[in-house]
Structures are given as C-alpha cells and as structure tokens.
Amino acid sequence: MKIGLVVSTADAPPSAYVVYRDDLGNCIDRCAALGYDGVELALRDRSQVVVPHIKRRLAATGLAVPCISTGQVFAADRLYFTHPDAEVRSQAVVRIVDMIHLAAEFGAKVNMGRVRGLIHNGEDPLAVRQRYIECVHRCADIAELLGVELIIEPVNRYEVNFVNNCAEGLEIIRASARPCQRLMPDTFHMNIEDASFRGSFLAGKDVISYVHVADSNRLAPGWGHLPFDEVFEALHEIGYDGWITAEVLPLPDPDKAAAQAVRYLRARIAGQYASNRKV
C-alpha cells in the first residue's frame, strides 16, 4: 500500500479537510520529508495547478499525485450534479471535466465527493438520481478516453443527503454503468453510516479503487477510537494494495497531524504484513 496526504493551496476554505495549505510545491516537499508516497490535491479549479512546476517537484521528491479531490467545487462555488438548475449542473460538469484533464497529466483519479450534490426538500429522489447519472455520463465520456477513474465517495448524512454509505455508493455505480466509476470508502464517513467496516469492504471488493482514512474525530489515525485493526484486516482480506490517503484536520498543528498520520499508517501496514507472513 502507498500512503498519501490531502493538501491544498494557501487560499483553501476552512471547510476543506486538508493538513497543509500552502504553495503546492511546498506541500509536496513537506510530505516527502515526512515519508509520504504522494499528495492528493484538493482543488477548486484546475487553474490552481501549474503543471510543469508540480511535475518538477514530483520528479525531485519521487512522490506521486494519486487523486484530485473536488469538494471545494461544491463547498465554495455551490456547483453540483443534482442541482435543479440545468445551467448550474453544466457548470459543474465543465469544472469536473477540467479536473479530469488535469488528473490525466498525473495519472490520477478524480474524487466525486460532495460535488455529486444533494436532494433538496420536496424533490423526487429518483429525478435527483437521474440528474446525477446524466452528469456522470458526460464526465465519463471524457474520463474513459483519458484513462481517468471517477471515484464515488459516500459522505455522511450531516454533510449531504445523497449517497451516504458504501451500499448506496455501489448501487449508484451499478446504475451509472460506466467502467471508469469506482468506489472510494472513507473511514470517517463509514464510522457514521456503515454498519460494518469489514462487511462494506467485502461487498465493494471488486470496485474499491482508493481509500480515505481519518479517525473517529477527524483527527489523524490513532488519535480517536476507530478500529483500524478491523479496517486493515478487511483491506488485506479483499487483497487491496492501493492508496491509503489521510484526510484529516490540521490539529494540534499541521506538522504534528501529518507526522502522526504517516507514522501510524506505516506501522499498521507493516504490522499487518508481518502478521500475514506468520500465517
């Protein structure tokens, strides 16, 4: 498994769950110094990334960009796929297509978290679902040409009310029926919405492509009460060997949070592999 950290630009809004808010090149250097394998870029717009600059920092450090996350498109600009206004939906699609082109530059995935949207009061859930699927098809037409995965992240009910748990994520993936769409479980949201970590990982084993981790209090792993033994045992059971990326609060300060996350995750992965070798 490879370990990543979610980072963003210096102007990232308070609602962004990122540890480092800085020049993205500086974020890469700081993560490299701590022993990360990569950085997930939490962005509002493609223009925030100067591609040659980032590629130089990646080449110098050996890090990768495994994913582009898009929560700020929803939180800052209120663009999302289920919006009742067709023009807003089109703007959301344009923004995500831009992110897809950016992701292709790095061999990255594109996270479809809150940008998928929500169900407004009084709306027909089936109509809302269809709006989402139509937008996904427009994005997938580009993503599949470029070899970019669109990863759906179930998000807890206190943030959005559409696709809250992994079972709902699997259902919307089946309904969308696009090969590029995969599942991205997040342990923080799973702890609220999923009845079983193991059950959800087993059910999604064929489509899980990326995993976010945070502890029960959204702090770095190991600073809450989430059962990470169960999480890593389940990931091993399904043969998952992809990215584990920490999406946590920058508390008590960014450097301590980042150091705790990578230290804890390295130990868990090494311990899991060690126990497997003994079997």
Peptide bond into 227 cis (omega under 30): no
Q: Which of 147, 92, 86, 143 is nearest to 117 (CA)?
A: 92
> Among the options 40, 149, 193, 247, which is catalytic?
247
230 part of the active site: no
Taking the C-alpha atoms of residue 144 and residue 189, their distance in angstroms, rounded to an integer, is 28
> Among the options 40, 149, 153, 193, which is catalytic?
153
Longest dimension (CA), the chain: 58
Q: How far is CA 275 from CA 97, 213, 233, 234, 271, in A?
A: 43, 21, 10, 14, 6
Taking the C-alpha atoms of residue 3 and residue 152, their distance in angstroms, rounded to an integer, is 19
Q: Is 41 left (phi over 0), alpha (psi -120 to 50) or beta?
A: beta
Please report the sign of the dihedral spanned by the C-alpha atoms of residue 106, residue 20, residue 36, residue 180.
Answer: negative
Q: Which residue has the tokens 């969308």?
A: 176
What is the Rg, in whole angstroms, of the alpha carbon atoms belonging to the chain?
Answer: 18
105 part of the active site: no
Q: Which residues are catalytic?
A: 153, 247
